[in-house]
Amino acid sequence: MPDVGDPAPSFKLPDQNGDPVSLADFDGQHVVLYFYPRADTPGCTTEAKSFRDHWTAFDERDIAVLGVSDDPVEDLAAFAAEYDLPITLLSDADGDVATAYDSYGEKDMFGNTFDGVFRNTYVIGPDGTISHVYEDVTPEAHAEEILADLD
């Protein structure tokens, strides 16, 4: 898992509109890169709505918020539209970016084993290094936790 002070692994992924987004697009600003298992599920919706509800605070601080899952672009577009999400959602269909951030692997749910995205968050500083790491995130109040840590 990348640690505080490590350079953030670079990436380029399609967003909910199919447009390419790379980490380099945000050079010089803080980036909240949060990984979530599945769009439009209870925990993931709670987390996304928390970022939405605190969007003004992130925007005023010039902090980009990027959500990453292995959902296809079409699902991300529907998710963003349904909940009026101002954040950028990225499709990591093959899990390569999540793997680079140690946020993808074998999961066990209801007796079924499968590969999927882990709920982790990384804050990347303006210099491109990781400034904060949150593992196994609890969706409620996560946005507030990040804002408090950055203040």
Active-site residue set: 44
Residue 131 DSSP SS3? strand
d(CA 8, CA 6): 6
- Give 57's contacts (C-beta < 8 A, 6+ positions apart): 147
Residue 109 DSSP SS3? strand
